[in-house]
Amino acid sequence: MLSHEDQIVAAIRQIIRAVDLHSRHLVNGHGMTGPQLAVLQEASRLGPTSPTSLAKAVHLSQATVTGILQRLERRSLVQRQPSPDDRRSVLISITPQGAELLKSSPSLLQDRFRDALSSLREWERLQILATLQRVGELMDADDIDAAPHLISGDFSDPIEQPSAFFPDEADPA
């Protein structure tokens, strides 16, 4: 029988593994990382928008979003256009190819997770929040800035990345 401590560590490893597997599924099945899909979804939702507004909407740094936009633009999924109000600024909009890709893309893991969380009672959500915040403190992670995206690896590179927590973990698939 595993100790409570070992069971907690195993549960954290399962969560990390689920995030890794979902991220790999996105890359292998759709050629996109989670952050790329999030940026494409937001570009579609917002309509023509500035890169700064897009970065704020997806809770990622401007530098990260700039790299993502470059990759999406190379694949003709988004386009940059001069702003009609200020020719020095650009607006990002999704292309027809980007819209088609979104139709066939799965939902992001955090979207399904939020939906499941919303079905819980308020006290259950608060209990989970408090517990996870405490776990973060115990792992000295409470001061680490994190976006609300369930993804692993390098946010700016579309190749598979091993989990930062368990880099030697073999993929069973």
The string of pLDDT tens digits covering residues 123-168 is 999 999 999 999 989 998 877 766 666 655 544 443 333 334 333 3
Give pLDDT, residue 96. 96
47-75 in b/e form (b: 16+ CB < 10 A) is: eebebeebbebbebeeebbebbbebbeeb
Q: pLDDT tens digits, residue range 39-49?
A: 999 999 999 99
**All structural domains of the chain:** 4-138 (1.10.10.10)
The Cα–Cα gap between 23 and 158 comes to: 10
Could you give the 3-state DSSP secondary structure of residue 92?
A: strand
The closest alpha carbon to 39, from 24, 26, 49, 54, belongs to 54
From CA 173, how far away is CA 159, in angstroms rounded?
17
Tokens of 99: 């819209």
The predicted pLDDT at position 147 comes to 62
pLDDT value, residue 105: 82
| Sequence-ordered list of residues with C-beta below 8 angstroms from that of 21, at least 6 positions apart, any chain | 173
For residues 87 and 94, the answer to whether their CB atoms sit within 8 Å is no
Residue 101 pLDDT greater than 50, yes or no: yes
pLDDT for 173: 35
Q: Report the pLDDT value the prediction gives residue 166, as an integer from 0 to 100.
A: 36
pLDDT digits (tens, 9 = 90+) for 6-30: 999 999 999 888 888 888 888 888 8
Model pLDDT, residue 157: 42
- Using DSSP's 3-state secondary structure scheme, residue 49 falls into strand
Residue 170 has pLDDT above 50, yes or no: no
Handedness of CA 48, 52, 53, 59 (dihedral sign): positive
Gap between the terminal Cα atoms of the chain: 28
Alpha-carbon distance 66 to 162, whole Å? 23
Note the pTM of the prediction, 2 decimals: 0.69
How confident is the model over 64-93, as pLDDT tens digits? 999 999 999 999 999 999 888 887 889 999
